[in-house]
Amino acid sequence: MDNYKLLINGGKPLIGETFVSGGKNTSVAVIPAALLSDDVCTIENVPDIEDVRVLYDILTMLGAKVDFDRQNRRMVIDPREVNGTKVDHRYASRMRASYYLIGALLGRFGEAEVAYPGGCAIGSRPFDLHIKGFQALGAQVEDRSAVISAKGKLVGANVFFDRITVGGTINVMLAAAKAEGTTILHNAAKEPHIVDLANFLNSMGAKVKGAGTDTIRIRGVNRLHGSTYAVIPDQIETGTLMIAAAATRGDVTIRGCIPTHMEALTAKLLEMGVLVSELDDAIRVRTVGAHRAVNVKTQEYPGFPTDLQQPMSAMLCMAKGTSIINETIFETRLKHLNEIARMGAHVRILDQTAIIDGVDELYGAPVTCTDLRAGAALVVAGLMAKGTTEIYEPSFIARGYEHIEEKLRSLGADIRRESL
């Protein structure tokens, strides 16, 4: 139970300029990747979020020297004295991406023992495809008592993913970077953070080609050297801010983002009647007319991201007409809509589909976060609603959004914490 709640007095348009932070899902892959290096790595643009603090604790526990300069968003990782290959439940269960320690430790030491990960409860989230990938490279893997143990000399191989998995693609890339010979990943994920991880690995001397396509080739190398690398801006934070700007009928310029990563969302916003203009590294979002209802089907990149489905569906609760949301990636990622229904939204949920009949008003109410992006969706709903929305369990939001309250306040939002 969190010891504070968020209070939002909604109905005010967000206006002004803001800056997007470094990517969460890229940082949580790049930081474990630094363990593969034989020397010091400096990672820049690292967001000061809970998931990064958990990784700091894990790497330190393993024996790495880690310095995180939060002011300058710079993490310096010296992995030379890492002497542990085990991550127990107390550490691993604090986040989803703790399972990247399997790929990184297996790749560096030929062994790893990592307890089951935690993370958002948005469906069953198996990791069988990660395990199959490690096995294809020659590792012996045991999955017992909620701990994955993997060991063995890794040899490059063909890895076919039965379905597209971001985590599986990243984990096997980590394991393969120093394997003997060439690994080819087929049906790989294409998300921007897969490309970012490949770029980081290559900056350390790895030989990764094809990231961003569905076939990634990794020629194993004996040694990876230190590197200084800045992670890409957060695609999902950018999208959340775009949605919040549109949802409040505001006018916001988001600086420091990569507009080409946002094309699926931009297309949907344009279809709704929102005005979106793109500059080299900024996006301006504003609304003049009514928002039209649209249908959203989540897909792997470059499709509409599941991580933006939640804030997007919150906004659609006030669009004119009926929107149909089809969440194809995760089984239970529509729970936020039950909360927004408490604020007056008209929503029917059938399995992984939601039918939203837009209403003219939402009204502030007490609501509870069930996961990170559900939290973002409730913030969007609170910003749109008349009156005061109380958001309980808001620490979910701090796991993935850096200083989001301050950023929204600087755009004119009335959002604050209150102790419980």
Which region among 52-60, 161-169, 174-182, 222-230 touches ligand EPU (by CB under 6 A)?
161-169
The residue among 369, 379, 402 whose CA lies nearest residue 122 is: 369
**HSE-CB for 192 with a 13 A CA cutoff:** 21
| 385: number of Cβ within 10 Å | 25
Q: For residue 173, give both structure tokens.
A: 């890339």
Which residues lie across from 416 on neighbouring strands? 7
Residues 385-414 that bind ligand EPU (CB under 6 A): 400
Phi, psi of 24 (to 5 degrees): -70, -55
Alpha helices in 24-121 (DSSP H): 24-33, 50-61, 89-92, 100-109
94 near ligand EPU, rule: CB under 6 A: no
Q: Which is nearer to ligand EPU, 71 or 124 (CB)?
A: 124
Which region among 3-11, 163-171, 250-258, 283-291 touches ligand EPU (by CB under 6 A)?
163-171
For the chain, the C-alpha Rg in angstroms (whole number) is: 21
**HSE-CB for 186 with a 13 A CA cutoff:** 7
Position among 30, 41, 43, 120 found at the interface with ligand EPU (CB under 6 A): 120
298 near ligand EPU, rule: CB under 6 A: no
Q: Which is nearer to ligand EPU, 123 or 210 (CB)?
A: 123
Size of the site for ligand EPU (CB under 6 A): 26
CB 240 within 8 A of CB 222: no
167 near ligand EPU, rule: CB under 6 A: yes
52 near ligand EPU, rule: CB under 6 A: no
Position among 18, 25, 85, 323 found at the interface with ligand EPU (CB under 6 A): 25
SS3 234: coil
Which region among 165-173, 178-186, 245-253, 268-276 touches ligand EPU (by CB under 6 A)?
165-173
Position among 5, 96, 249, 336 found at the interface with ligand EPU (CB under 6 A): 96
Using the Cα atoms of residue 110, residue 116, residue 117 and residue 120 in order, give the sign of their dihedral: positive
Give me the residue label for tokens 């599941």.
306
Residues 352-391 that bind ligand EPU (CB under 6 A): 372-373
Q: Which is nearer to ligand EPU, 249 or 407 (CB)?
A: 407
Residue in the shown chain whose Cβ atom is closest to ligand EPU: 167
Q: Which is nearer to ligand EPU, 52 or 62 (CB)?
A: 52
CB 183 within 8 A of CB 220: yes
Indicate which residues carry an active-site annotation.
120
Position among 80, 163, 223, 409 found at the interface with ligand EPU (CB under 6 A): 163
32 near ligand EPU, rule: CB under 6 A: no
238 near ligand EPU, rule: CB under 6 A: no
Query: Which positions from 185 to 204 touch ligand EPU by CB under 6 A, shown as an x/- string?
Result: ----x---------------
**Per-residue DSSP letters for 244-312?**
HHHHTT-EEEEES--GGGGHHHHHHHHHHT-EEEE-SSEEEEE--SPPBP--EEB-STTSB-HHHHHHH
Please list the helix, strand and coil fractions of the chain in percent, rounded to the nearest 5, in that order.
Answer: 35, 30, 40
Q: Which is nearer to ligand EPU, 35 or 189 (CB)?
A: 189
Q: Which is nearer to ligand EPU, 102 or 367 (CB)?
A: 102
Instruction: Considering only the C-alpha atoms of the chain, give the largest distance between any 2 of them, rounded to a whole number of Å.
Output: 62
Q: How far is the CB of 218 from ligand EPU (least distance, A)?
A: 18
Q: Which is nearer to ligand EPU, 97 or 185 (CB)?
A: 97
By CB under 6 A, name the binding residues for ligand EPU.
25, 28, 96-97, 120, 123-130, 163, 165-168, 189, 306-307, 329-330, 372-373, 400
